[in-house]
Amino acid sequence: MSAALRHASLILLVLLVAAMAYLAGVALTGGAAPFFAAQYLRTQDLAVAAVFALFWIMSGRIDPARLGLDRAVPGPNAAGLRGAALLALIVAAIGAVGVWLVFSGYGMAVDEHWARSDGIVIGTGRGMALIPEAWRDYAAALQPRFARITPDGWWVSEYLPVNAALQYLGGNLASPLLAGWAVLVAADLARRLLPEHPGAPLVCALLMASSAQLLVTAMTPFAMTAHLAFNLTWLWLLLHRDWRAQVAAMPVAFLAIGLHQAVFFPLFAAPFLLETWLSGRRGAAMGQALAIGAAFLFWSAWDTILYALLGAEPVTVSGGGTGTGTGLLFSRFLALLRDFTPASAGLMAINLVRFVTWQNAAVLPLVLVAAAGAWRAGGAWRAMLTGIVLTSGAVMVMLADQGHGWGYRYLHGYIGSACLLATFGWYRLPAAVRDGAAARGVLGAGIVLSLLLLPLRAWQAASFVGPYARADAAIAAMDADVVLIDAPRHVFALELVRNDPLLRNRPKRMATASLTEAQLARICRDFTIARFADADAARFGLDAVENDLPLKRLPQGCGRAGQVGEASSNASIRAALASQS
């Protein structure tokens, strides 16, 4: 165990050095690192990384059992599944409370906004919403990011719809319930994979339930919580040899691929299919592979299917690429490959620091204990290890920058794998070591430390999102037909351009940069106008990013003749700020 703690410290140090070298290299060449990645490392993750490193070093030199921390670890005969079920309920409850207590019900990222907006569209019984005719010319300004807007007036996001459907059906309880379900399924997988250790389900559940990434992400509409739940559910079914379980796994895979991006589930499933084939279950491996392949083709053609069902005119979406359907997906993949540079390895180091420091502090050392044995054991254990490495490599090449997220969300679907491997690592320790007070004290200290850090992580998330949530509420309360979001020194103010997909909201919000001069003139003539500019963004504390983007000038006379205008817009913002304080 002491060797694993030393190795974990070394790995974290190497990742931090690589991350700092990357940031220094970017700065020296006059470039700009992805804002969120650099900001999160500096303001959220460095301090926790130092705490983790200190914990690993000190745990090898002192005995945490002297503090009674060994009592936090379940005994060898603990009632595994009953305790895990209770922890699953606690996780769901924390997620549900955190939706409001931490985030005030506000989803900052565009992904979160679209998950809710697409749910509204699904509720209409159509796959896309028809834009009211009066607003069609302004569609690109009303939904400037990740929108699929057809020339004949339909729109929806670029994302696949299953997570949106879950968010629509479950509301703010959807992600918390999925997180609780993931904990329960992972615990039962531990029971099945380690049947000789009755306490394994509870150990696995404790490691998952003390993951800040799992808990905080469960407070959001991000699709990653659903990815984790569907990944584990599919694996649970795959490991059953009964043919009915194999049949049931196929629709789970179908839905998992359609959650929001088609690539994530196949990356998760591929190592398990290979191990299933190698184990002699070739019929099951072939059946699942065919089902996953068919589902991937279906979902990659989702936009083409939508256009055909609605008779809408196809359009190339804003994210780049050419064509529609599978051709568009493939062209985007090639574009991502062309954009890959070795510098992505440094960015990936930042991501991995974030992933490690948002998990239970004992997970990385225990995964290191498990690694060699998992590879030799083969089967599900080797597939879990391979999946983490495979997906880390794939996203490093294709899209290392996750943008906004709590922890590293592109590996969120592997939290179950990591905690199962850590559980395997715990039970790989010799019984005399594992049952001794010293090792139990280290694991107990990891659980306690992670739970103590959870309020810090929740505060970090709330502090980061809070200014945007307050600005969003203030804009929603403004008495204007249209609010122009025009804060080029605060480029993430564009996160505030969010409208109901049926455009039932007032005021409408528009990105000024997406409007032509003629459109601006028309809006100023036809509507009352307010403006959210850099000064307003600064008052709310939105993140400032240095750039040379110009502030667009409103046409002469805009804001007169009874319209709100720029000057009174600032007065409205100040009044809104006063009401929020």
How do residues 385-419 score in pLDDT, each as one tens digit? 999 999 999 999 988 889 899 999 999 999 999 99
Q: Are 51 and 449 in contact (CB under 8 A)?
A: yes
What is the pLDDT, as a whole number, of residue 335? 75
Cα separation, 142 vs 509, in Å, equals 6
Per-residue confidence band for 574, with pLDDT thresholds at 50, 70 and 90: very low
Residues recorded for the chain: 581
pLDDT digits (tens, 9 = 90+) for 135-160: 999 999 999 988 989 999 999 999 99
* DSSP reduced 3-state for 68: coil
CB-neighbour burial class of residue 576 (10 A; exposed 0-12, middle 13-18, buried 19+): buried
Rounded to an integer, the average pLDDT of 189-204 is 94
Q: What b/e sequence results for 215-235 when a residue is b if at least 16 CB atoms lie within 10 Å of its CB, and e otherwise? A: bbbbbbbbbbbbbbbbbbbbb
Instruction: Tell me the per-residue pLDDT of 480-526, one tens digit each, with 9 for 90 and over.
Output: 999 999 998 988 899 999 999 999 999 999 999 999 989 999 998 89
Instruction: Classify residue 156 by its DSSP letter.
Output: E
Q: Is 348 helix (H, G, I), strand (E, B) or coil?
A: helix
Q: Give residue 437's pLDDT.
A: 80
What is the CA 93 to chain-centroid distance, rounded?
Answer: 20
pLDDT score of 319 more than 70: no
pTM above 0.75, yes or no: yes
Band of pLDDT at residue 573, cut at 50, 70 and 90 = very low
- The whole-number average pLDDT for the span 103-110 is 92
β-strand partners of 533: 486
pLDDT in tens, 269-301: 999 999 999 999 999 999 999 999 999 999 999
Q: What residues contact 281, with CB distance under 8 A and at least 6 apart?
A: 241
Average pLDDT over residues 111-132: 94
pLDDT (0 to 100) of residue 511? 94
- Choose the weakest-confidence range: 309-313, 466-470, 548-552: 548-552
What's residue 55's pLDDT? 92
CB 542 within 8 A of CB 468: yes
Residue that the structure tokens 């005030």 belong to = 104
Q: Residue 316's pLDDT is what?
A: 53
pLDDT value at residue 2: 80
**pLDDT digit string, tens, across residues 16-73:** 999 999 999 888 887 778 889 999 999 999 999 999 999 999 887 777 767 677 777 7
For the chain, give the mean pLDDT.
89
